[in-house]
Structure 1
Amino acid sequence: MTVGRNSSDSGIGIGIGNSSLGGSRIAIAIGIGVFLGCVFAFFYPHGFFIGSDSNRKSQSPAQCEPSERVNMLKSELVSVSEKNSELKKQVRELNEKLRLADQGRDQAQKQFLVLGENHKAGPFGTVKGLRTNPTVLPDESVNPRLAKILEKVAVRKELIVGLATASVKEMLEVWFTNIKNVGILNYIVVALDDEIENFCKSKGVPVYKRDPDEGIDSIARMGDSHAVSGLKFRVLREFLQLGYSVLLSDVDIVYLQNPFNHIYRDSDVESMSDGHDNSTAYGYNDVFDEPAMGWSRYAHTMRIWVYNSGFFYIRPTLPAIELLDRVAGRLSREPNSWDQAVFNEELFYPSHPGYDGLHASKRTMDMFNFMNSKVLFKTVRKDAKLSKLKPVIIHVNYHPDKLPRMKAVVEFYVHGKQDALKPFPDGSKW
């Protein structure tokens, strides 16, 4: 019994041992498989068939496209990039134009845009407001032909401009002869007919004749001085749009010095005055008396004699261009109006109910430097000290016998003939 049990026990023990050994072998096989899988996964991450996969990838449609197509796409990309850059440039230009246009709302906003930020007021007596408006962006597309001419003629973006027809040919010659004698290079004649254009070219005078225009041609044919004076406001606009400051000059003016050495350039408009003394030229308090009002019979008024629309310096600013537009617009609607009266009304009338005044800065020129013929013949020639002064220009605006007086001015100031001015009366005979 014992032996058998032992045998039986031994058999059972042997069975269990065999089972344990088989399980170990399976575990070892699984472990080896996992290990080998990790090894192959590490060294062959894309599998055993990488070559065939690569072949399939190399045959993808994108890589099968011809090189011409690739070059075409590159060219299109470059073209799109260039167009994008151009659009960005146009957007910047439009933004700048919009910024400048917004300045026209009111003077306060103009000043804010120029300063760029708000400022605190300084101590008493030290505060100074803005007097100089920013210039506009030049726009050569307005008149490319004129732009090329001005590039050669202008000095520091400014020049003298005179309009002329054949009816003032003799005065024009005195005008540009003295400009040359003074040494002024930056001037140009706007010819309103072929005769003046050819005359200027024959004399070596810079000249510009606009393209055919029915309005200009009709004015040139009429030869009316007031009509030509009204036309100049339209012509000047193109000069300002091109970014040039203009010293507008009638041809009944004798130049004795270079006017650009005597201009302040701190205002939109700088003009000579029709005034004949300090009060009339620069302003005065005029008292109006109305006895019927009793205690309040005296009313104080501020007065100034008008600016001369035949000689003024104008900068390329928005208020300046607005002034030209306003004057030209009114003269076209009011053909019987005098251009000088309209010029001053638009420049000086303040805003009031139903009317928005022009926010333009202005300066009156020194009346002894920029002298009108009333000051010369009524005062200066009779004064020993004043007659020794040499004006910058003399404008024969108060007298109809313009040419002989212009020649007399040249004789007196240029050639030193002391009695050259004596034969003329103070005023003129009708």
Structure 2
Amino acid sequence: MAGRRDGSLMRDKTQSFRGSRIVTAIVVGVLLGSVCAFFFPRGFFSSDPPIQSRRFGKLDLQTSSSQCESTERINMLRSDIGSLSDKNDELKKQVQDLTEKLRLAEQGKDHAHEQFSVLGKPHKAGPLGTVKGLRTNPTVIPDESVNPRLAKILEDVAVQKELIVALANSNVKAMLEIWFTSIKRVGITNYLVVGLDDEIEEFCIANDVPVYKRDPDDGIDSIAKTGGNHAVSGLKFRILREFLQLGYSVLLSDVDIVYLQNPFNHLYRDSDVESMSDGHNNMTAYGFNDVFDEPSMGWARYAHTMRIWVYNSGFFYIRPTLPSIELLDRVAGRLSKEKAWDQAVFNEELFFPSHPGYDGLHASKRTMDFYLFMNSKVLFKTVRKDANLKKLKPVILHVNYHPDKLPRMKAIMEFYVNGKQDALEPFPEGSQW
């Protein structure tokens, strides 16, 4: 009985074990089927991409779209920044222009107040040290009938009724190009070339340079077309008269000049004539007491004299006043009769006082800062040898002391514009005869 019972138990256990294995297999199969159904709802060999792939694809599209939108946004922001930068530059320029106009207006108001104070009804002198005479003469009433064509040109070119004017013929074409190139680089717009022949007129037009060619005049044209530097220089006193009659202040400029700053920002405008000097230091430029020694005079051996080096007639600012026009007339009149250097005559008329047989010119004058309005003697003899002075930036540089003008002008551009530190070194202090 016991044996049968044990055998029966063994069979029951075996059957039970087999049943549990079947149940386990079924459960595992169901679970695997569920998993497969979840991840592969369309079967293992479906032609449609898996859900996960589609999800990634959708994500890629979203990412790509987002990147495109970001790129477009960045480009838009860059465009906005560029536009704002341009507007900012434009506003800065407007502020500078308005500031300059305000400064000129205040300067003009001060001059007008001085004129009214002196030219008004007679009045008593004030306390010691408070009395000042008239420095700034009133301007003339403009007369456009003098030259309507020039009046129209000046209306378009001038700024605040003032401009730079240069005379040029084809003999100075190479220097003229450096001249107007430096002017354009600085940003000066109110300048005009008086073309003395057809070639210069065409050259200026081709280079977008404002140019004015006078109506035919035998007295001027014969010199203008073939004359050398000094001969042409003498013509300016006749030609400038019309500019002043039209009511414009003129910054007369030779073409052997390099512009490094805008000169109109450095003028005082309180005198009839404001000129650069041929002097090379404070004494020679602004005047000094020169003592002449004559031992034979004993106690009175020392005679005091006043000395000043001449104004340069190749760069001066002249206002449209009666004394200014009288100066031009005097110089032009003498040059038409005498064989003289225009710069010498210009200075004699400005400085010689009235004396028996001669009525002096009552024109006010001011000497420009010789380091800002620099002549080539100052540059090549002093400035280039001094480490501190070399750091200064002149307003203009006039190659008036040297006949090799063109190469020195190019060297000046190299030194001050392109930063070539040894550009000035090859040249001697003076000229080689």
TM-score range, shorter chain: 0.7 to 0.9
**1 CA distance for matches of 2:374 and 2:246?**
30
Matching of residues 28-427 of structure 1 within 5 Å: 115-334=119-338, 336-427=339-430
Report the alpha carbon displacement of residue 222 of structure 1 after superposing the two structures with TM. Answer: 2.2
* Structure 1 SS opposite 2:333: helix
Q: Is the 8 A contact 2:261 2:394 kept in 1?
A: yes
Report the alpha carbon displacement of residue 114 of structure 1 after superposing the two structures with TM. Answer: 5.5
Q: CA RMSD in A?
A: 1.2
**2 CA distance for matches of 1:162 and 1:233?**
12
**2 CA distance for matches of 1:209 and 1:181?**
24
What is the letter of the counterpart of residue 168 of structure 1? Answer: V
Q: Is the 8 A contact 2:118 2:133 kept in 1?
A: no
Q: Deviations over 1:315-352 (max 9, x none)?
A: 00000000000000000010x20000000000000000
**2 CA distance for matches of 1:346 and 1:113?**
28
**1 CA distance for matches of 2:221 and 2:240?**
17
Q: Deviations over 1:375-396 (max 9, x none)?
A: 0000000000000000000000
Q: Is the 8 A contact 1:373 1:396 kept in 2?
A: yes
**2 CA distance for matches of 1:402 and 1:363?**
27
**1 CA distance for matches of 2:118 and 2:247?**
18
* Structure 1 SS opposite 2:304: strand
* Structure 2 SS opposite 1:185: coil
Which residue of 2 is the match for residue 17 of structure 1?
none
Task: Say how many residue pairs are matched.
Answer: 320
What is the letter of the counterpart of residue 283 of structure 2? Answer: S
* Structure 1 SS opposite 2:314: strand
**2 CA distance for matches of 1:114 and 1:179?**
38
Q: Deviations over 1:106-135 (max 9, x none)?
A: xxxx96896321122111111111100000
Q: Is the 8 A contact 1:271 1:313 kept in 2?
A: yes
* TM-score of the pair, normalised by structure 2: 0.73
**2 CA distance for matches of 1:211 and 1:221?**
13
**1 CA distance for matches of 2:221 and 2:392?**
42
Report the alpha carbon displacement of residue 217 of structure 1 after superposing the two structures with TM. Answer: 1.8
**2 CA distance for matches of 1:354 and 1:111?**
30
* Structure 2 SS opposite 1:379: helix
Which residue of 1 is the match for residue 30 of structure 2?
none
* Structure 2 SS opposite 1:208: strand
**2 CA distance for matches of 1:113 and 1:205?**
42
Q: Is the 8 A contact 1:136 1:241 kept in 2?
A: yes
What is the letter of the counterpart of residue 271 of structure 1? Answer: S
**2 CA distance for matches of 1:173 and 1:214?**
27
Q: Is the 8 A contact 2:115 2:136 kept in 1?
A: no
Q: Is the 8 A contact 1:114 1:134 kept in 2?
A: no
Q: Which runs of 5+ in 2 are unaligned?
A: 1-113
**1 CA distance for matches of 2:153 and 2:117?**
33
Report the alpha carbon displacement of residue 226 of structure 1 after superposing the two structures with TM. Answer: 1.2
Q: Is the 8 A contact 2:234 2:332 kept in 1?
A: yes
**2 CA distance for matches of 1:174 and 1:223?**
21
**1 CA distance for matches of 2:193 and 2:229?**
16
What is the letter of the counterpart of residue 273 of structure 1? Answer: S
* Structure 1 SS opposite 2:267: coil
**2 CA distance for matches of 1:120 and 1:409?**
54
List, as ranges, runs of 4+ consecutive aligned residues in structure 1 with deviation greater than 6 Å: 110-113
* Structure 1 SS opposite 2:292: strand
* TM-score of the pair, normalised by structure 1: 0.73
Q: Is the 8 A contact 2:115 2:138 kept in 1?
A: no
Report the alpha carbon displacement of residue 284 of structure 1 after superposing the two structures with TM. Answer: 0.2
What is the letter of the counterpart of residue 347 of structure 1? Answer: L
Q: Which runs of 5+ in 1 are unaligned?
A: 1-109
Report the alpha carbon displacement of residue 232 of structure 1 after superposing the two structures with TM. Answer: 0.4
* Structure 2 SS opposite 1:421: coil
* Structure 2 SS opposite 1:285: strand
What is the letter of the counterpart of residue 332 of structure 1? Answer: S
